[in-house]
Chain A
Amino acid sequence: MSTWPAIAQIAADVSAGKTKATDLVAESLKRIQDTQEYQAIIAVITDRSVVRARDIDARVAKGEKIGRLAGVPFIAKDNFLTFGSETTAASNILKGFKAPYQATAIELLEAEGAICVAKANLDAFAHGSSTENSDFMTTKNPHDSKRVPGGSSGGSATAVVLGLAPFALGTDTGGSIRLPAAFTGAVGYKPTYGLVSRSGVIAMASSTDVIGPLTTTVEDAALVLDVMAGKDRLDSTTIDRDKTSYTVLGSDIKGKKIGVIKEYMGQGLDPEIKRSIDASIAKLKTSGAEITEVSLPSLTLALACYYIIMPAEVSSNLSRYDGQHYGYFAQNAKNLEESYNWSRSEGFGDEAKRRIMIGTYVLSSGYYDAYYKRAQLIRTKLIKEYEKAFSQVDFLLGPTAPMVAFEIGQNVSDPLQMYLTDIMTVGANLAGVPAISIPVGSAHKLPIGLQLLAPQRQDRALLALAKAAEEVLV
């Protein structure tokens, strides 16, 4: 596994003419080439990357200012619309789809000089926790190729840990950035809902989808977030960013009130992970953190609630893939009805179909009140519990996942077992609060993630704490 300097350093070196963007892109492309057996990458954006890199180098030579990510290669999860390659969301139904516009996040990163060199594998439409639901291939965990990297941003996490690029983008609907970060030993950041524009990112569940970075350090994550954060006129759910940069970190653990989430530390948690998390808690305490135990009783319902709301939105968001306007369509259909049925039956994988069916069911008249409406009530209750918890402590803490990376194929035939991997991450999505997974220690010789959460819009404080914790724990 190769490493990169800090992103800010790379950009400074490129801007100063010490490093060439073309060399960085070449290095990144070479590493992608050399690590194909991990199946992290769906598409390589060679031509566009090289052209952009040459342009940056030429502008540097002319003394122009490039930006805070000058020449920094990165990899986007393949549910971000990008130029220079197909955008498929790892689904057959979008195979061959070329985006007519780019995601706002990509545009913002490019405007600061970053270069998107490849598209990473994911569970199709981000439905999954292992990348096994990708219609194309399963990504392998960089620490043990028999194991999954977690999902759905498994390709992005693996890419970062393998050093294919200094950072990667992921999306987190129920844990899809943090879980693969935990399983592969990366830093995965899920911002406050609405802090980063969703425009141009293939929607999974619109009310919980967020966009965030996967990196090797908290500092890098903060820089990437800072470039992407803020209101976007193309996404009405975006919120105002902090005036201060998210990269201004420098925080002390001392005196910080941290609540350990009771519901995450009990039954179902791998004892080795518990030992490691407990050890981390002890270190934080030694560093002066005020640790208490906090209970959010509705968290026990969070997963059930999530698996109603999310499929409801998924079933709606996937309606547009109907074979009539773009993407896969059934050539042999004889009429409109067949065209719809066959295009969708042949184009969608099993997991997408499962979620469409669940979502359609919970939104149907006669079932809406019993499922969707009740789930929304629980969601509101959960949000209130988070608010209450955050009135007592500054941050919440727990493991990112109850288990370490499992073996490929282990959970494939048991979707419920697979859904359980999200149990510690979905809460933050339902409440819209920011959360980060940082690698701390190991269990069964595999990485594990420590999850830290903060109130909505406290992204900077959370990153600052995570940076301080990283120094003590990693």
Chain B
Amino acid sequence: MISAETRKKYTATIGIECHVQLRTKTKLFSAVSNEAYEASPNTLISHIDLGMPGALPVLNKKAVDYAISIAFAFNTRPQKYSYFERKHYFYPDLPKGYQITQLAKPIIVGGYVTIDVDGKSKDIRLNRVQMEEDAGKSMHPEGKDYSLVDLNRAGTPLLEVVSEADMHSAAEAKAYAKELYLIARYTDVSLADMYKGNIRFDVNVSVSKTDALGTRSETKNLNSFRSVEKAVEYEINRQIELLEKGEKVVQETRGWNDAKQKTFSQRSKEEAHDYRYFPEPDIPPLDLDEAWITLIEKNMPVMPAEWRQRLSGLGLDSQQISTLFDAQEETNADYLSLIEANLEDKERAKTYANWIVNYEIPFRRAIPGGLNDHSSRWPVYDQLYNLQVKNKLSSNSVKALMIELLKLHKVQLPVSIEKYAEEKGYIQVSDEAEIEAIVKEVIQENQTAAQDVKNGEMKAIGFLVGQVMKKSQGKANPELAQELIKKVLR
């Protein structure tokens, strides 16, 4: 283990390449279903995916739509002019002998992603985003003298997002990975199912004591934020240890062993591959029409970075925002849309955001199976809020009612919350005359305390309010009661 002091002497530099699988109905270049998950091997293939003689790729327009919206999500515009290239290598899961990808003129150049680490935001610049097709899947059954190839995945559309080496800690790497995931979700370009490998990360890590960058390792195919964080952490430590021992870091490709929580060497020095890239002659260059770009720009949904600002404007702290983001992904309860629908009324939006973070999410997390039919819940919010605004519910009653209604959700929600609250005795009395009568009674019965209040001993006022609440069976509005006590005793 290296000491914290040794660790401090080194700066880690991290760049990440991320493959995002697009959720198009069909593949990037063929009219075959893109739903490869759980399909029987080699059932989702056409002559194009098989690389049959005479087969030509035809670009999926929807994939281009998705790339365009990702450009806006990355705070830039797509390149008007881009083209595909062929990357050559031989492998049985690559039937054409080349992958169709982009190199010299990718669809997106530049842009950045804003990440949030412990409430501090930072921009991670992007080098490029390129469209490309996935290869098939090779399987090597243990102890067998053959390998198997499944081409269902061949031709699946991917966006490869290449960051600049702008990250310097495992936490930043994790935050970046997560932000890409959120962007993929919010733009809706990908199903972004990490478990199914819809998003995969390759992390490039180097460490150095000077301004010059150290030799980097590339750890490939990480499919969770946690593994990104752990692999980066592991690599930083491993490389510092090597350097401290006077050894060298080897430029190599490494894999991640999740069970051992370790990276391991896969192949060193890139085996001097020459991919012989050249422009794909079967697909004309993309020359994007300005109207096409603008249409997509107009319909861009709000991205997580802007949501973070909005929610912080509504008084949520970075931890709460993160909780809300997680919950938004975990359940199909669309909290953000509810908040968005009420953004014009800031107080209301603020209240809803707080209810979601403080009651809704913890409750949902506690019950197995969760609550699925969420949209029917939102009228509950509106009714509760209206009652609160009219001073008919105390904040404690709101909380209690919210929990009750969450519990009731799976059984049957009451049609009128007000009627329900009344029956259950939650409605507070805010009628001045009525409360004043009780206040007078209470003062009459508690002369000593009343005198104390008159003498400026404010502790006693709490006692009197308590008595008013008791007498009203909890229905009195406590704030109003306090004011009235002061008024009567003045």
- Give A residues with C-beta under 8 Å from B: 81, 87, 89, 94, 97, 99-101, 103, 198-203, 205-207, 233-237, 312-313, 315-316, 318-320, 322, 324-326, 336, 340, 360, 363-365, 368, 372
Contacts and interface: CB of A to CB of B under 8 A. Distances in A.
Nearest to A312: B278
Contact of B283 (A89, A236, A364): A236
Given A206-B282, A237-B284, A320-B95, A364 B276 contact: yes
Nearest to A101: B47
B368 interface: no
Contacts of A318: 97
B57 interface: yes
Contact of A236 (B95, B277, B284): B284
Contacts of A100: 47, 52
Nearest to A81: B54
Nearest to A366: B274
A99 B147 CA distance: 26
B51 A87 contact: no
B88 interface: yes
A322 B90 contact: yes
Contacts of B283: 236-237
B58 A234 contact: yes
Contacts of A103: 54
Given A201-B54, A234-B58, A207 B281 contact: yes
B92 interface: yes
- Give the one of B52, B96, B284 with max A CB within 10 A: B52
Given A234-B58, A320-B95, A365-B274, A87 B284 contact: no
Contacts of B363: none
Contacts of B147: 336
B56 interface: yes
The 7 A-B pairs with the shortest beta carbon distances in the complex, nearest first, are: A319-B97, A206-B281, A363-B276, A207-B281, A200-B54, A320-B51, A202-B53
Nearest to B283: A236
5 contacts: A94-B53, A199-B54, A233-B58, A235-B282, A236-B283
B59 interface: yes
B82 to A, nearest CB: 15
B86 interface: yes
B105 to A, nearest CB: 14
B313 to A, nearest CB: 47
B274 A326 contact: no
Contacts of A372: 278
B322 to A, nearest CB: 44
Interface in B69-119: 86, 88, 90, 92, 95-98
B76 to A, nearest CB: 26
B56 A320 contact: no
- Give the one of A81, A94, A205, A318 with max B CB within 10 A: A81
* Interface majority SS (helix, strand, loop, mixed), chain B: loop
A363 B278 contact: yes
B97 A322 contact: yes
Contacts, number: 95
A336 B92 contact: yes
A78 B336 CA distance: 61
Nearest to B95: A325
B50 interface: yes
Interface in B270-292: 274, 276-278, 281-284
Given A81-B54, A316-B98, A325-B95, A237 B276 contact: no
A199 B98 contact: no
A87 B276 CA distance: 29
Contacts of B56: 198-199, 234-237
Nearest to A365: B274
Contacts of B95: 320, 324-325
Given A319-B90, A372-B278, A236 B57 contact: yes
A207 B53 CA distance: 16
Contact of B281 (A97, A313, A326): A313
A386 B175 CA distance: 56
B53 A319 contact: no
B278 A89 contact: no
Contacts of B57: 236
B231 to A, nearest CB: 29
Contacts of A324: 92, 95, 149
Contacts of B51: 320, 325
Contacts of B54: 81, 99, 103, 198-203
A261 to B, nearest CB: 26
A115 B341 CA distance: 64
Contacts of A97: 53
Nearest to B29: A236
A87 to B, nearest CB: 7
A94 B149 CA distance: 21
A416 B27 CA distance: 43
B136 to A, nearest CB: 10
A101 B53 CA distance: 10
B278 A316 contact: yes
A97 B50 CA distance: 14
Contact of A316 (B52, B86, B274): B86
A320 B278 contact: no
A372 B276 CA distance: 11
Nearest to B90: A340
Given A319-B88, A322-B97, A89 B274 contact: no
B31 to A, nearest CB: 9
A236 B278 contact: no
Contacts of A312: 278
A326 B278 contact: no
A89 B53 contact: yes
Contacts of A315: 276
Nearest to A197: B56
Interface string B141-185: 000000101000000000000000000000000000000000000
A202 B51 CA distance: 11
A203 B53 CA distance: 7
Contact of B282 (A94, A233, A237, A365): A237
Given A325-B95, A360-B276, A364-B276, A316 B53 contact: no
Contacts of A320: 51, 53, 95-97
Nearest to A198: B56
A236 B58 contact: yes
Contact of B59 (A236, A313, A340): A236
Nearest to A203: B54
A101 B50 CA distance: 13
B200 to A, nearest CB: 24
A462 B281 CA distance: 26
A94 B54 CA distance: 13
A277 B55 CA distance: 40
A90 to B, nearest CB: 13
A419 B57 CA distance: 30
A218 B58 CA distance: 33
A124 B50 CA distance: 22
Contacts of A201: 54
Nearest to B48: A234
Nearest to A335: B145
